[in-house]
Amino acid sequence: MHRPRLILGSLDAIEAALGDELRRWKAVDPLAPPLLLVGDVLIGIYLRRRLARLAGGHVNLPVMTPGHLARLLGEPALLAEGRTPLPAGGQHLLAEEIALGAGGYFAPVRQAPGFAQALDRLFRELREAGVDPEGFRAAVSQAEVNQEKCTALAHLYARYAERRRGFYDGLDTYAAADPSRLDAPAVLVYGISQPSGLLRRLLERLMETLPVTVFLPRTVPEADRAHREMIDWLTSLGAGEEPAPEPVPDREPTALDHLRATLFHPAGGTEPDGTVRLVSAPDPAREVREAARACLAWAAEGIPFHEMAVVFRRDEPYRALVDEVFRETGIPVYLYGGRPLAEHPQGRRLLALLALAGSPLRRAAVMEFITETHLPDATAERYGPVEPALWDALSREAGIVEGRDQWISRLSLLHQAKRRAVLGEEQEDPERIDERLRTELEAIERLSQFIKDFADQLEARPEHASWQAHLDYLRDLAVTYVDRAEPLLDLLAPLARLDALVPQVSFVRFQRTVRRVLERADAGTVLGPDEVPPNGHFGRDGVAVLDVFSLRFLRLRAVAVLGLAERSFPAPPRQDALLLDRERVRLSAAGRWEIPLRAAGADPEPLLFALAVAAAGERLLLSYPRSGGDGRTILPSHFFRAAAEALTGRRVGVEDIDSLSRELFTRVPTNRFGAATPEEALTAGEYDRTLLALLPQEGAECLARLHPPFARARAAWEARWRGRELTTYDGVLGEAAAAAVARRAGLRRAISPSRLETYATCPFRFFLSYLLRLEPVEEPDLLERIESLERGALVHDVLQRFLTECGANDPPSRVRREAHLARLRAIAEEECADREQRGLVGYPLLWQVDRRAILEDLITWYDREVAERDDALRPGAFELRFGPKWTHDREDSPLSTDDPVPLQADGLTLRFQGRIDRIDWSPDRSAFRVVDYKTGKCPGHHKDDRLAGGRALQLPIYLLAASHVLGIPWERGEAEYFYVTRRGEFKRVRFSGATLRDRWEEFTALVQGLAEGIAAGRFHPVPGPSREHCTYCDYSTVCDIRIARLAERKAADPRAADFARLGEVM
């Protein structure tokens, strides 16, 4: 057996020693070089180029990773045994299968996805350590461990091994490797510092016939502990520690050299010289932008992009951010591993489609898929123009939440309602349908057909089937609904091989497997350069973007290390929940293995950081984010502080970071969204932001010329916040705009009392709602219980039907109570059933409660009606409309009129329209009462005979309307709100004709003032005391959050003061 050689030194030294060793073997036979065994593919690419310079060129140099070598030496023997390769993803699938079948100790967690993942990782660790199932079971019986748990693990491990029988994967090839198959005079090991038990055994077998030389870096003691175990193993085999000669520096020492030498063990500081920069950024996105700035600065110094690297401990969130920011900036990159196909639009479309299969067809998910996907031409033609925006609006209007039946039924109801609103119940004269309505009706029909076909295909999924059957289903689905899906389907086709391993799987497991495949696949490889931005080549073009594991043993001229934050880099050690470290130690002792320790073993994190620092030859950037973008404060890790301590020669705590010298440390301000100087700007947009920050006046003028909307935005801000007068930007319109408003908002057209009340509450709300006609876009949601508006409509419909049937000659009375209540209940049951059928009542149990409450409230209403009824007045009209009829979806009283109700106010004529719930009058038509039903709580400004500054105008205007229709003087009438539920405590709020007569001048002046405000275009926001007008406002999200301050600031403006005086009319 050959004794191994162990060569230790800095990265520069062991690279040179490796070159010398290769040169020595070249002298023996130039065409038979030794095997170079490397820890990572990138190390191999790097060393091929590096050794070509160090060794004066090389020919036929075989470079392999351990996995490649094991397959070369062991796969033929496994194939000769009749074993077949385990299909891709098979190991995880098997672990999942074993987890799902777990009983006893692990039965409660067998369905948890995390259990299968943990089991998969543990099984891999056991196999890498060379632990066989029988040996594991024996060790469990001998060791002092949790017997119930570990016996269960041994049983699962044995089942796992049994299910794998007949298959092999990469780990199996290590044990089967035949060293005689290796055609090389020696083995040189580089870039491997923590070999598994399987690799150690393979190397030991190679040492029996070949010389093996191992090269390990020597950095700083704290970091070198990570490969102490490997050094001890090599020493036990007879290796001596051979120090590699350190190259003679050809330049003066730099701060970077000092950092490498004193990391974790500061020994005096050094003067900053620009070779090392420390950066603190507000968040990861701006941290990445600082890295991009550093790369551009390094390029300006003459360092090529391909000699740079940007690295991080975890891919999230940095990998995607670096890709996005660097592409935006125009910096070429090499993304190690490529861009995940799952993040490409094509991948997202296929995953979204797959997620919809088996889902409840939630409206938001369906519309997101339709909006984001590109349908194949044949599918798009089948349904006419596919209009995602219109389909989205119509499905919202229909109130669709989820479920095939709901989609179909509610689209049908919407179609019927839109036709009925224009054509009436008889649906006659289709020519009255205007173009806009026709477009909507046709769109509803197309969407309905699309959903029916879509749901049919989604529901055809197999619940449990073979992998091939699932793939066939997915192919049929994808080629129908995703354009150019074939490359993705071809990528997934090999999953059919899993039928040999697990013949039947659920659709949910199939979905998870597809997602894993797309997450690991490179979009560029699958889709080609036409679909994916170009990815560079390591060491040839583009900044290398990779994690710190892949940076190990590489040397570049400039490196940026991101994410040096606590609990990120270094990552905290974590125990394995299935097999604790103390149990691993005891089992290893019993079975004479070395099962790796998770938390108590040698910490690899310091070595990772030390090698990242050593990878930088000339420039190094170390940075951390102060928050994760979610407002959570993040502290710099002790690695970041260790670097600061090495450079300054003193202890650096978290509180000392910001006091570091400006030559060494940069804190990017949270409120800075540009660069420090225009010259450092990465993009044109950032240049503009930087200019604005440094030269506000000049920057604003420049942006105003280039981008006119900016000029208007700036003018708006100055008008609102620099003056104390109301301006156009506060909602006070100019003459031309005010004139247009006057034509539309009620002075020449009929206006409803509620609109005037809205203006009296907040003119800006009136402007947004009735002039701009903005409506909040809300996502229909699952109803837990019937909504307030629908509940109110139900009660209104019941009362209107009941009182109409009773007529004037059979009003509610004690004598007729029993018969009336029977009919009232029957009508209520019918209306409740109608809401149930339309899916408007929520969960059944809650609906039982609400339904009972509605019925009880109706009975209470009846009794209050009897107790408080004026025998001189009888119900005479219901749903009485005054003003134009806009829709045909509600029945009108025969007394309804198309003429608005006029009101003369100091020469100004206003025309009102509306709908009165109920009017009672005396047989001799000497008196009347208007009743408006309310089903909510009684607001504080609803009080007897109050106008509430214009917020309670409905009752007096209804008095005038009823008088106009009935021909009875309004002085003899009365109007009331009747709160007909327990929420409103069955209150009545009245406004009498006598009060209106006494306050006529006050009333008309108030109405006139409000009308003149509308005519003059005064629509400034009025939040009210303590912003009470904003509490239930649909437009609070589009109002300035500081609206109360703004209103107070401009309260002295004459127009604001005039409006405030109107509000004082009680």
Is residue 425 scored above 60 in pLDDT? no
When pLDDT is cut at 50, 70 and 90, the band that residue 216 belongs to is: very high
Residue 422 vs residue 520, higher pLDDT: 520
Instruction: Please name every residue paired with 505 in a beta bridge, in sequence order, or none if there are none.
Output: 465
Q: Which residue has the tokens 């995390």?
A: 114
Can you give the residue ranges of every domain in the chain? 5-78+178-243, 84-165, 255-332+538-667, 342-527, 678-721, 724-779+876-1066, 786-872
Look at residue 119 in the predicted model and tell me its pLDDT.
95
Q: Which of 75-79, 231-235, 575-579, 706-710 has the lowest mean pLDDT?
A: 706-710
* Residue linked to tokens 């993009």: 683
The mean pLDDT value for 117-143 works out to 94
Structure-model confidence comparison of residues 750 and 671, the more confident one? 671
Supply the pLDDT for residue 886: 66
Residue 561 in tokens = 């290390």
Distance CA(970)–CA(961), nearest Å, equals 9
Query: Which position has the higher pLDDT, 730 or 993?
Result: 993
Answer whether CATH 3.40.50 is correct for domain 342-527.
no
- pLDDT score, position 887: 59
Indicate whether 299 pLDDT > 60: yes
Q: Distance (Å, rounded) from C-alpha 196 to C-alpha 733?
A: 77
Does position 428 have pLDDT exceeding 50, yes or no?
A: no
Residues ≥6 apart with Cβ < 8 Å to 140: 147, 150, 151, 153, 154, 587
pLDDT value at position 72? 96
- Per-residue pLDDT band for 569 (boundaries 50, 70, 90) equals very high
Residue 329 exposure: Cα atoms within 13 Å on the Cβ side: 25
Mean pLDDT of 203-231: 93
Q: Of the candidates 908, 894, 498, 879, which has an alpha carbon nearest to the alpha carbon of residue 742?
A: 908
Closest CA to 276 of 655, 568, 644, 625: 644
> In a 3-state reduction of DSSP, which class is residue 704?
helix
Topology of 255-332+538-667 in CATH?
Answer: Rossmann fold (3.40.50)
Give 300-314 pLDDT, tens digit per residue.
999 999 999 999 999
Higher pLDDT, 231 or 1031: 231
Going by their DSSP bridges, the two strands 464-465 and 505-506 should be labelled as antiparallel
| pLDDT for residue 423 | 62
* CATH class entry, domain 5-78+178-243: alpha beta
Indicate the pLDDT class of residue 90, thresholds 50, 70 and 90: confident
Residue 426 has a pLDDT of 43
**pLDDT score for 714:** 83
Averaged pLDDT of the chain: 89
The pTM is what? 0.80
Query: Mean pLDDT over residues 344-351, rounded?
Result: 94
Distance CA 930, CA 24 (A): 110
* Percent of the chain topping pLDDT 70: 97
pLDDT > 80? residue 783: no
Burial of 574 (0-12, 13-18, 19+ CB in 10 A): exposed
- Confidence band of 427 (pLDDT split at 50, 70, 90): very low
Question: Tens digit of pLDDT for each residue in 987-1017?
Answer: 989 999 999 898 988 888 888 888 888 888 8
User: 342-527: same fold as 5-78+178-243?
Assistant: no
Positive or negative: CA dihedral 794, 795, 796, 798: positive
Tell me the mean pLDDT in the region 265-272.
88
- Summarised one tens digit per residue, pLDDT across range 151-186 is 999 999 999 999 988 899 999 999 999 999 999 999
Alpha-carbon distances of 717 from 599, 714, 1021, rounded to whole Å: 57, 5, 15
Highest mean predicted confidence (pLDDT) among 434-438, 620-624, 802-806, 954-958: 620-624
What span, in angstroms and rounded, lies between the C-alpha atoms of 575 and 581?
7
CA 318/CA 288 separation, integer angstroms? 7
3-state helix, strand, coil in the chain (%, to 5): 55, 10, 35
Q: What is the mean pLDDT of residues 624-636?
A: 87
Does pLDDT of 576 surpass 60? yes
